[in-house]
Structure 1
Amino acid sequence: MIRILCVLLIILQPFISFSQRDVRKDSIYPENIKLEKSAFRLKQNKADSIKYYANDTVFKLIPDPLSHLDNVGFRFIVRELDMNNVKKRHQTDSLQDAVQMLLQYVKNDSIRNMVYYLKEYFEKRKTEEALRKVKRQIKLEKILSYQPGILKPEEYETDETWKTHALEELYDYVEHDPVHQWIREISRDSVLIGVKNYQNDSIKFWINNGKQDFKRFWLKKNKRDSIGIWVQNTKNRSVRILVDDDVYQQSVQKSKMRGTSVRLVEKISSDHYKLAKLGKYKRYSKKWKLGATLGISFNQGHVSDSWAGGGESSIATISTIGAFANLAKGNHTWDNTLEIKYGLLKSGDNGFRKNEDRIEFITKYGQKAVKNWYYSALFNLKTQAVKGYDYSNDESRKLKSDFFAPAYIIASVGMDYKPNKKLSVLLSPIAAKYTIVRDTAMIDQTAFGVDIDKKVKKEIGSYVNVSHKLKFWGDLSLENKLTLYSNYTMKPKNIDIDWEMILVMPINQYMSTKFSTHLISDADTGSKVQFKENLEVGVRYRF
């Protein structure tokens, strides 16, 4: 019997050795049981090393989730925080959640890789460049596949059909991936810059386009000359503008345009700027248009006593102030103008005498009726500033006029035709005209059509006011102002005419020449037509 057992052991020995061929000496192996994900099994071998194994088997190594952390001490801290991140009495749920969120970021290496990818995408745009290269290669492969007669390089001698198909699949996946499209969209979140010249030629580009390239553009003016510039995208969302060589600059003659200002540039250092981050803001458009013009002109002539032809030396000056305030809101308009003009003349041995004195204020309100027609109401006041004398008598002078002696007031309602900003035609079937002479003791009011025992003359009639301004080029302009008035109660055929024409010819930004004529025909002041003409050369400044 013993012999039989020995023979069986000899026969079974090779099978027992074969079944234990991978078993090492001095090693401890756990039983084949299921463990929790957070549990680890210890393996001890001759090297006394600690390894991580999978849950269901001891032969598959588990990678360390914190292997991307180079600091070994910090790895230990993270593990301790992860195991001990339980609610304490002095901690709140929000603190526990915050610590868990930060631990998740530290342990998750894929989030870090994605963040680095996003950072590199915004700064260098390598993904977009890679997509362009792959697209060009696909097009090249297709062109070569349709032209078999062209010799192909060695790399095309393999199975290029499958390679082209694989590149197309890769390109389509990345190009149409919603995450990549979202990254591309937010990376272009910047400011769109547009440059336009006088001929409406324009270029547009995003400042944050990931490139530091130049764009060529020509700045052209109305005189057909041009300046070449280069617009460059630089880092930190800034723009650099370079002007061509041999460009000469001069001051601009036109007034500066004003508008809503938006802070787009933030100063980082003395030579470093970038676009400032803008929040939500309310944009307000200017409803009132304000402006004023100040002018003064001189005229001087000298004749010596020995001049055989005779004559007198003279000097003359005229000062003007013109201001306007216009409101446009929806279908409503309100135009206000004020003009003040005063001039002095000295001829020969005579003292200074007044040769120009005028104050005129016009306010007109309109509400849109149809297309270019407005319901309008107008108020017009004309008077003078200082006393005026008659110098026909060499021995003495006679007072003829003064402030509000006379003064003309017209109030009317009607329809105003305004096809554009240059033309206005007011037709008023109902208008009241008042002629006022404040001082009847020193001034003859009958010279202005006022009865001898009254200070005010009232009239009811029709009124027409035409204003037209024609611009030729630059500041060269011709302006006409015409008013017509007819009295219903007294001689309606005798129409009062007041026509003024002004031709402005600029010399430079501050100097100009102005030629004006003024014609008045009023039966109340006499049967003769009144006419005056002025040629002025002087200084003018506009606000």
Structure 2
Amino acid sequence: MIRVFCVLLILLQSLISFSQRNVKKDFVFPDKIKLDKSAYRLKQNKADSIKYCSNDTVLNGLIDPLHHIDNVGFRFIVRELEMNYSKKKHQTDSVQDAVNTLLQYVKNDSIRDMVYYLKKYIETRKTEEALRKVKKQMELEKVLSYQPELLKPDELDTDDSWKAHALEELFEYVENDSVHQWIREISRDSVLLGVKNYQNDSIKFWINNGKQDFKRFWLKKNKRDSIGIWVQNTKDRSVRILVDDDVYQQSVQKSKMRGTRVKLEEKISSDQYSLAKLGKYKRYSQKWKLGATIGFYFNQGHVSDSWAGGGESSIATISTIDAFANYKNGNHTWDNKLAVKYGLLKSGDNGFRKNEDRIEFETKYGQKAVRKWYYSALFNLKTQAVRGYTYPNNAEKILKSSFFAPAYIIASIGMDYKPSKKLSVLLSPVAAKYTIVRDTGNIDQTAYGVDADKKVKKEVGSYVNVYHKFVFWDEMSVENKLTLYSNYSDKPKNIDVDWEMILVMPINQYISTKLSTHLISDDDTGSKVQFKENLEVGISYRF
């Protein structure tokens, strides 16, 4: 009986061995061998039969967390530091915490993957390009859904109707993802570029804003000359400027502004840059500003001899020169103006007669006192260039004036309020006024307040000089010049008034219309108010 049992046991063992001939023998029992979880994990072998070997497992190796470190010696150092600086219960050490923080950074390869992804995102911007393409496809799908007649019936694929909704869901997920929005913002490391023209109109935009769009802008040389341009920010983080067609450009006068070139970055290697050291910038400003305007204006009217209403033909011409030379350096200013005006009038059969003759020179020095107030000293000279006559009853002409006969000189000191270039108010409590008649033999000096036995009249009083220019409708301007003078010693309440107003209405760059009025009230030249008005149409050129 025992022999039979042994034979059966041997046969059973052979049968079991035959049935398990394909079972791998490299498995271990986890209840007998303990391994570090960070290096290995136990996984059931797919080839094993659970029926015959339910406890058999196969040992599979995991990826080394330090596989990204090529230096094998440094890997060993990291493992040794991790063992020596491992935390123990109820133990606090700042150096130990610092070492563990650095070890976690070295072991965490996901940080490096994130940086690589961010670098690739900024350089290629494939995600942004993909979003734009998907959005364009979604808009096309919407158009096709509302207008199916655009496609032929055999081209319509009703089975793909779910794709439009799926693309929309994918687009919304990526577009609204907080991580993607954060990466998009930090990848726009850019420069805010601003462009400003002559009239201080400006546009601003970021160079690297993820778009390739155009902005319209006007470059204006002066009030009646401009060039239209298009400013585009390109994909390579640069700016391209396109000028309108049919534009004729002239050479630009070299500016006296000087500066220094600024280098923003220095190249260390093929893919490494560093900020360059900036030198001290010194700005050289233009101290002198020079300019002049030359004009030639005329007025003409013709009346034929057969005109029933009667009248006379007339023609009038006026030539003007307005020049300035202004100096500014720190708190010091020096303004110089020269105005020359001369006109002729011919009416009927009479010859040409002078209807305008004026020379005025003014220089004013100022030193800044506080805010918009300046200590100022002014010198003003007014006279005429050629002889002037009166024609009583068209009989004989009587000489009334000539060069420096008369001439008016005002010298004053005071305070000048200059809030802008278009407004100036000079208040002078001490001002000297001189009235000069050079040729007393041919001209009656008493008509200008000078004593009969003298050529010069001296006065001391207060003086006010106001200049204001108002520009409206971008082209038209009104210029007012007002001077007030009061003599302390002789009738101080009788204030001398000299007010000139000029209205300029330009037609184009060279042709303009000008309306000027001149009002004078001076007791020395008579009790009546003097008034003169001119309407001029002509050509002017500004330097």
- What's the TM-score, normalizing by structure 1? 0.57
Cα drift, residue 200 of structure 1: 3.2
For 2:345, the equivalent position in structure 1 comes to 345
Cα drift, residue 216 of structure 1: 2.9
Checking the alignment, whether the CA contact within 8 Å between 1:372 and 1:418 is kept in structure 2 is yes
1:180-217 alpha-carbon deviations (Å, 9 max, x no partner): xxxxxxxx9x99965457753313549xx9x9x94532
1:331-372 alpha-carbon deviations (Å, 9 max, x no partner): 111111100000000011111000000000011111111112
Which residue identity does 1:230 align to in structure 2?
Q
For 1:219, the equivalent position in structure 2 comes to 217
Which residue identity does 2:308 align to in structure 1?
A
For 2:330, the equivalent position in structure 1 comes to 330
Checking the alignment, whether the CA contact within 8 Å between 2:229 and 2:241 is kept in structure 1 is no
Instruction: Return the alpha-carbon distance in structure 2 between the equivalents of residues 134 and 461 of structure 1.
Output: 77
For 1:440, the equivalent position in structure 2 comes to 440
For 2:412, the equivalent position in structure 1 comes to 412
For 1:532, the equivalent position in structure 2 comes to 532
Checking the alignment, whether the CA contact within 8 Å between 2:232 and 2:239 is kept in structure 1 is no
Instruction: Return the alpha-carbon distance in structure 1 between the equivalents of residues 248 and 537 of structure 2.
Output: 22
SS in 2 for 1:508: coil
1:109-120 map, 5 Å: none
Cα drift, residue 419 of structure 1: 1.6
For 2:15, the equivalent position in structure 1 comes to none
For 2:120, the equivalent position in structure 1 comes to 129
For 1:373, the equivalent position in structure 2 comes to 373
Cα drift, residue 425 of structure 1: 0.9
Checking the alignment, whether the CA contact within 8 Å between 2:301 and 2:313 is kept in structure 1 is yes
Cα drift, residue 132 of structure 1: 6.1
Instruction: Return the alpha-carbon distance in structure 2 between the equivalents of residues 484 and 460 of structure 1.
Output: 13
1:470-500 alpha-carbon deviations (Å, 9 max, x no partner): 1113231111111111111111111110011
Q: Paired residues, what number?
A: 344
Mark the CA change 1:377 to 1:474 in structure 2 (over 3 Å): closer, same or farther: same
Checking the alignment, whether the CA contact within 8 Å between 1:195 and 1:203 is kept in structure 2 is no
Instruction: Return the alpha-carbon distance in structure 1 between the equivalents of residues 475 and 248 of structure 2.
Output: 15
Mark the CA change 1:279 to 1:251 in structure 2 (over 3 Å): closer, same or farther: farther
Instruction: Return the alpha-carbon distance in structure 1 between the equivalents of residues 510 and 119 of structure 2.
Output: 55
Mark the CA change 1:353 to 1:233 in structure 2 (over 3 Å): closer, same or farther: farther
For 2:494, the equivalent position in structure 1 comes to 494
Checking the alignment, whether the CA contact within 8 Å between 1:482 and 1:499 is kept in structure 2 is yes
Instruction: Return the alpha-carbon distance in structure 1 between the equivalents of residues 423 and 503 of structure 2.
Output: 16
Residue in structure 2 matching 1:260, options 242, 257, 261: 257
Mark the CA change 1:532 to 1:252 in structure 2 (over 3 Å): closer, same or farther: farther
Which residue identity does 2:215 align to in structure 1?
F
Checking the alignment, whether the CA contact within 8 Å between 1:195 and 1:204 is kept in structure 2 is no
Which residue identity does 2:501 align to in structure 1?
M
Query: Any gaps of 5 or more consecutive residues in structure 1?
Result: 1-124, 137-187, 265-277
Which residue identity does 1:203 align to in structure 2?
F
Checking the alignment, whether the CA contact within 8 Å between 1:231 and 1:240 is kept in structure 2 is yes
1:80-132 alpha-carbon deviations (Å, 9 max, x no partner): xxxxxxxxxxxxxxxxxxxxxxxxxxxxxxxxxxxxxxxxxxxxx99943776
Instruction: Return the alpha-carbon distance in structure 2 between the equivalents of residues 511 and 357 of structure 1.
Output: 23
Checking the alignment, whether the CA contact within 8 Å between 1:498 and 1:520 is kept in structure 2 is yes
For 1:425, the equivalent position in structure 2 comes to 425
Which residue identity does 2:314 align to in structure 1?
S
Which residue identity does 1:314 align to in structure 2?
S
Mark the CA change 1:398 to 1:135 in structure 2 (over 3 Å): closer, same or farther: closer
Mark the CA change 1:402 to 1:453 in structure 2 (over 3 Å): closer, same or farther: same
For 1:185, the equivalent position in structure 2 comes to none
Mark the CA change 1:440 to 1:251 in structure 2 (over 3 Å): closer, same or farther: farther
Instruction: Return the alpha-carbon distance in structure 2 between the equivalents of residues 477 and 242 of structure 1.
Output: 33
Q: Identity of counterpart residues, as a percentage?
A: 70
Cα drift, residue 329 of structure 1: 1.2
Instruction: Return the alpha-carbon distance in structure 2 between the equivalents of residues 130 and 250 of structure 1.
Output: 41
Residue in structure 2 matching 1:230, options 226, 229, 232: 232
Instruction: Return the alpha-carbon distance in structure 1 between the equivalents of residues 299 and 122 of structure 2.
Output: 76
SS in 2 for 1:201: strand
Checking the alignment, whether the CA contact within 8 Å between 1:418 and 1:424 is kept in structure 2 is yes
Instruction: Return the alpha-carbon distance in structure 1 between the equivalents of residues 426 and 293 of structure 2.
Output: 25
Mark the CA change 1:507 to 1:256 in structure 2 (over 3 Å): closer, same or farther: farther
Query: Any gaps of 5 or more consecutive residues in structure 2?
Result: 1-115, 128-188, 262-277
For 2:285, the equivalent position in structure 1 comes to 285
1:445-479 alpha-carbon deviations (Å, 9 max, x no partner): 00000000000000011111111111113231111
SS in 1 for 2:438: coil
Which residue identity does 2:355 align to in structure 1?
N
Which residue identity does 2:402 align to in structure 1?
D
Checking the alignment, whether the CA contact within 8 Å between 1:232 and 1:241 is kept in structure 2 is no
Which residue identity does 1:202 align to in structure 2?
K
Instruction: Return the alpha-carbon distance in structure 2 between the equivalents of residues 361 and 489 of structure 1.
Output: 27
1:29-44 map, 5 Å: none
1:133-532 map, 5 Å: 194-195=194-195, 200-205=202-207, 214-219=212-217, 228-232=230-234, 240-242=240-242, 258=255, 260=257, 283-532=283-532
Cα drift, residue 422 of structure 1: 1.3
SS in 2 for 1:292: strand
Cα drift, residue 380 of structure 1: 0.4
SS in 1 for 2:536: strand
Instruction: Return the alpha-carbon distance in structure 1 between the equivalents of residues 360 and 125 of structure 2.
Output: 76
Mark the CA change 1:331 to 1:282 in structure 2 (over 3 Å): closer, same or farther: closer
Cα drift, residue 423 of structure 1: 1.2
SS in 2 for 1:447: helix
Instruction: Return the alpha-carbon distance in structure 2 between the equivalents of residues 131 and 527 of structure 1.
Output: 83
Which residue identity does 1:311 align to in structure 2?
G
Instruction: Return the alpha-carbon distance in structure 1 between the equivalents of residues 417 and 193 of structure 2.
Output: 40
Instruction: Return the alpha-carbon distance in structure 1 between the equivalents of residues 422 and 507 of structure 2.
Output: 23
Mark the CA change 1:238 to 1:411 in structure 2 (over 3 Å): closer, same or farther: same
Cα drift, residue 232 of structure 1: 4.0
Which residue identity does 1:390 align to in structure 2?
T
Cα drift, residue 439 of structure 1: 0.4
Cα drift, residue 374 of structure 1: 1.0
Q: Which moved more, 1:213-222 or 1:491-500?
A: 213-222
For 1:62, the equivalent position in structure 2 comes to none
Instruction: Return the alpha-carbon distance in structure 2 between the equivalents of residues 382 and 295 of structure 1.
Output: 20
Which residue identity does 2:500 align to in structure 1?
E
Mark the CA change 1:280 to 1:445 in structure 2 (over 3 Å): closer, same or farther: same
